A and B are shown apart, each in its own frame.
Chain A
């Protein structure tokens, strides 16, 4: 019985150690496990599949800071690879000052893999302060929101932007977000300007946006690392990319961490009930 009691009072340092081991081992070992693809992930994937190559552009807004990059970077990279593999043009921007640097890193990596040229195949618009105002500005006239790109190239000198005026020329707007900015995109870009908004959010935020998915106000959503892993799975399945990325590898670590937490909760409950049954019952407690 003492062992059970002790199991209910594990030192927190032991819990930390177990979690570290549970995360590191699967990252070191390369396990190829298939991920179940959600309808919300499929919604975004299919929307990008429907875009005609070398015509209209997808807009990806990197609306997060580096603390969330572990979850959201793989999403951005997976969607950029999808677009570039299909020769779909991309407009990259950020509503977060630090997001611009993260966006630039992601787009530079994906562009080099697919030999895409800035200004022609993609445009890096960078950070713009203003939040909802910028979203509405894009709806009115994108040129006013972005008179020049991130590197100072004037809007009119960007060949890709020649026929892009507002959301009508942007079939998918994806916000990769770590805050309530998804709601801002839905309200202003989606409701006011009828843009097709999709989101990529951290796992803890994902439940907040299911109502928008059901109403169709979000055409798809990538939920945390799992959403990114699902997207990577779809890219490999469709032959757009030859190997799964970081998110798929990280899912193994997340899997073992989840299992460890479930086991710990079970141990805690077994110990709780074992001790509770032994204690004399008191009135009113």
Chain B
């Protein structure tokens, strides 16, 4: 029963909403509108479940003294601290919550992401070699794009940004479109498999 009801719901609602899309009547629209409201209502408790799951995971890690458990303490302390500060002092501009967000959390996240630039520079220097003809084409395209993207490129030669734009609009777009078609067909196939009950991983416990 635990599996049959969700599977039946997915099949019935999947077919209903496929048909609904092509029926422009008022009743059909109202039905769709109503289900959108339900989805929001269902979505909000999902956040609470996610927080609960995350907190339980870290508490368990601390209890069992698993590897790097002190980081879990930092996480729980920070999460609880931010929540309390937000609930007590509010989240408007100028509040302690916003100060913590602006001057601590945001710079920390940005810093971690910025570290990628160092790895990218080092990796490009070590591994970007013109070993074969294809690699040479890739290398030259990268040079044109990198120079075309910066103001200096246009100062060196006005054609660089134009060629860079062409590379993005023609070869890049052709390959991206091919990938997107593949992904699209894959998504449609997966959706059909879910609706027909062939793909059941979403029910939990493997398909």
Give residues in A with beta carbon < 8 Å to B.
10, 12, 15-16, 19, 23, 33-36, 38-39, 65-70, 98, 101-102, 104-105, 108, 128-130, 133-134, 136-137, 140-141, 144, 151, 203, 206-208, 210-211, 214, 226, 251-252, 254-255, 257-262, 264-265, 267-269, 272
Contact = CB atoms under 8 A, between A and B. Distances in A.
Contact of A264 (B98, B107, B121, B165): B121
Interface in B148-207: 149-155, 161, 165, 168-169, 172-173, 176-177, 180
Contacts of B177: 211
Contact of B143 (A12, A66, A262): A262
B151 A34 contact: yes
Contacts of B147: 258, 262
A39 B165 contact: yes
B173 A12 contact: no
Interface string B64-107: 00000000000000000000000000011100001001100111
A275 to B, nearest CB: 11
Interface of B: 29, 32-33, 36-37, 39-40, 43-44, 46-47, 91-93, 98, 101-102, 105-107, 109-110, 112-114, 117-118, 120-122, 124-126, 128-130, 139, 142-143, 146-147, 149-155, 161, 165, 168-169, 172-173, 176-177, 180
A161 to B, nearest CB: 19
Residue among A98, A144, A258 with max Cβ neighbours from chain B (10 Å)? A258
Nearest to B90: A151
A35 to B, nearest CB: 5
A211 B173 contact: yes
A66 B117 CA distance: 16
7 contacts: A15-B125, A130-B43, A133-B39, A203-B149, A211-B180, A264-B125, A269-B130
B121 A261 contact: yes
B172 A70 contact: no
B150 A258 contact: yes
